[in-house]
Amino acid sequence: MRRAALALALLALASGASAQDRQQQRNMRNSYANPSAVIAAEIAFAKLAQEKGQWTAFAANAAADAVMFVPQMTYAQAWLKGRANPPQSVKWQPHIVWSSCDGSLMVSHGAWQGAKDMNGYFTTIWQRQKDGKYKWVLDHGDELKEPLLAPEMLSGQIADCPDRGKRPAGPPPKFKEVKAKDLAPLDPAQRSGKSLDGTLWWDVTVDPSGARNLSVSWKKDGAESPVLIESVDAPVKN
């Protein structure tokens, strides 16, 4: 089983929770972010996988420029097109969601379970679309030797927002929709993204062997800090 090295900033459980709760409440007032929207999207995504098939669900919820790892990085929609669903879909549950202040970009993290008692973790990056709904743009994860323990409750955290005492004026910001015909050639070694307000960003690098590293960072408590760092070893060749 491959090694998965995770470093998670579970801010909801950190010390000084009362001060963080007050800041979280201010962020909620000043932001368009709604982490529960991505929690709901993840739950619906997982339910569709059980009802219609794993790859059918992945394709239905992926943006045109979404990427996944097989193990090399590839455009998801091209890889999923016409692909038969496995006999048994994996199951998964979100545990926590991190959001940019403006809600244009969110990151979900949780556990998955597969056939033959396989267990693992996943990290999915979601972007708000033109219609206001969320689609995933990066799917990442790996196996774990032991199941990832579920928290007592799902949580959502929001990056720092300007202290303006009210939500920003105007409609919630959305990413410009990307059409499949407009996709640029994919760089298989590196990809990154950033929320429209610059408060949450991610970067992934992939070695020719298939080993990869994902980092997510945000603006929090007046500084730039990591949200999570994940490293996945190259697949073992048979």
SS3 content of the chain, % helix, strand, coil (to 5): 25, 35, 40
- The predicted model gives 187-200 an average pLDDT of 96
Domains, in order of start, for the chain: 4-82+89-162+173-232 (3.10.450.50)
- The size of the chain, in residues, is 238
Residue 14 has pLDDT above 50, yes or no: no
Burial 134-169 (b: 16+ CB within 10 A, else e): bbbbbbbbbebeeebeeeeebbbbbbbbeeeeeebe
| pTM across the whole model | 0.87
Residue 119 has pLDDT above 80, yes or no: yes
Average pLDDT, the chain: 87
pLDDT of residue 37: 96
pLDDT digits (tens, 9 = 90+) for 50-95: 999 999 999 999 999 999 999 999 999 999 999 999 999 999 999 9
Residue 136 has pLDDT above 70, yes or no: yes
pLDDT digits (tens, 9 = 90+) for 34-56: 999 999 999 999 999 999 999 99
Residue 177 has pLDDT above 60, yes or no: yes
pLDDT digits (tens, 9 = 90+) for 17-28: 455 555 555 555
Residue 181: count other Cβ atoms within 10 Å of its Cβ.
Answer: 6
Backbone φ and ψ for 141, nearest 5 degrees, come out as 165, -175
CA angle 7–12–17, rounded 5-degree value: 125
Q: How confident is the model at residue 237 (pLDDT cuts 50, 70, 90)?
A: confident
- Rounded CA separation 217/76 (Å): 24
